[in-house]
Homo-oligomer: A and B are copies of this chain.
Amino acid sequence: MSKPLRIAMAGLGTVGGGVAGLLLNADGELAERASRRLELVAVSARDRAKARAADVSRLEWHDDAVTLAACDADVVVELIGGAEGPARALVEAALKSGKHVVTANKALLAHHGAALAALAEESGVALKFEAAAAGGIPIVKALRESLIAYGIDAVRGILNGTCNYILTQMEATGRSFAAVLAEAQKLGFAEADPALDIGGGDTAHKLALLSSLAFGIVPSLDAIKTEGIAHITPEDIAFAREFGYRIKLLGMARRTPSGLDQRVQPAMVRAGTPLGDVEGVFNAVLADAGAAGPFFFEGRGAGEAPTASAVVSDLVDIARGAVGAAFGRPAARLKTLSGAPPARVSPYYLRFNVLDVPGVLAEIAGRLAEAAVSIESMIQRGRSPGEPVSIVMITHECSESDVARALKVIAGSDKVLAEPCMIPMEAG
């Protein structure tokens, strides 16, 4: 057996603690799979004195994470997080000093992925990030190494467990977004500051990585249209159910005749389809691999064990000498996309909160018709003359920009009480 792979790790939170536990208590099976021992030799975290499940007391300790780049190790594992600051400094320094890097840091890679991949190539080392997208699901490896022969037409996924948990709970309980979010925070399924999750930003980070792997583009948020879930109401979810759909926050990247369409958006996904049936904190990815067909992957997208499992799989890859390009191709060959994605063409769910007065439906229908948006079905529940009611419609296939133009006019009507809601329908 070759000499051990020496590992330095920055960050001893939930995931770092899990990885440390796996490496320190390894029973020989990992070494067998890796053809060599994985040896954790140095760590860095904010608080040395903190009690931890994994005993790191005999390891080299670094108060300053960035100094791990200079320690006697083959690989640096970065679990600090954040697109800038010590995470970026450590990863850059480690790659420059010829150390492999394993990271779970989606923000860092979504912003600086191509530059870091280039650094890794210059030094002839690996930059691996299975844990950065969809947690334990080996989707990074699948897109990088497996689903490559026929190209990818589309990659779409439920990439944020917090949002999927909230939407699942809203459906199960009929409660409001705010109430379910507050409960999720109490239960530890949502962060104290949930903006990055519920605003779609975290999903966009992950989509940028999957999109880079699938389509050979520079990972970037610039060309990803991003929308969160805070505006989804229990009523939307109930209507969706009535039509046979569920509302899911999807990251979607697909080739279209007008270019690559990348977006993070709540979408109506038919119940009974793979993506439509993903429940709770689970993540899932559907990859359309050309003639090879659709491939669906589902599993835990966050948490100690799933994420630590992904980190360890990257370490074993490196131990076995798998040092390929970070995004599957030489960094210099990644193409840069910019500007907003092309307007989406699909059916849409529309909800209008209106005064129940004569003529309101005619007005809405008229505005939609003027914008070439045609209606497939409509629900108006009950009647409350002079009171607020909801009108819900599903359109035929139409352009996002046509719908948006019509909604802007409709929103200006004095019979319309709130911003109309539009949610695309998406095959699941």
Contact = CB atoms under 8 A, between A and B. Distances in A.
Interface stretch (A69-77, A200-208, A328-336, A415-423): A328-336
A58 B147 CA distance: 29
A144 B35 CA distance: 13
A256 B145 CA distance: 33
A317 interface: yes
Interface residues of A, number: 55
Contact of A293 (B32, B130, B136, B148): B136
Interface stretch (A231-239, A299-307, A395-403): A299-307
Interface in A116-158: 130, 136-138, 141-142, 144-151
A305 B137 contact: no
A interface secondary structure, majority: mixed
Given A277-B272, A298-B296, A322-B320, A33 B291 contact: no
Nearest to A301: B293
A379 interface: no
Interface string A8-52: 000000000000001000000110110100000000000000000
Contacts of A252: none
A295 B149 contact: no
Interface stretch (A167-175, A308-316, A382-390): A308-316
Contacts of A151: 29
Contacts of A321: 321-322
B290 A305 contact: yes
Interface in A325-378: 325, 328-330, 333
Contacts of A293: 136, 299-300, 305-306
Contacts of A138: 138, 141-142, 145-147, 295
B292 A295 contact: no
B324 A149 contact: no
Copies assembled: 2
Nearest to A299: B295
A211 B405 CA distance: 56
Given A145-B141, A149-B308, A309-B150, A328 B297 contact: no
B289 A309 contact: yes
A324 B325 CA distance: 18
Contacts of A309: 146-150, 289, 292
Nearest to A136: B292
13 contacts: A29-B216, A30-B148, A138-B138, A146-B310, A146-B313, A147-B313, A148-B309, A150-B305, A272-B272, A272-B277, A295-B299, A320-B322, A322-B322
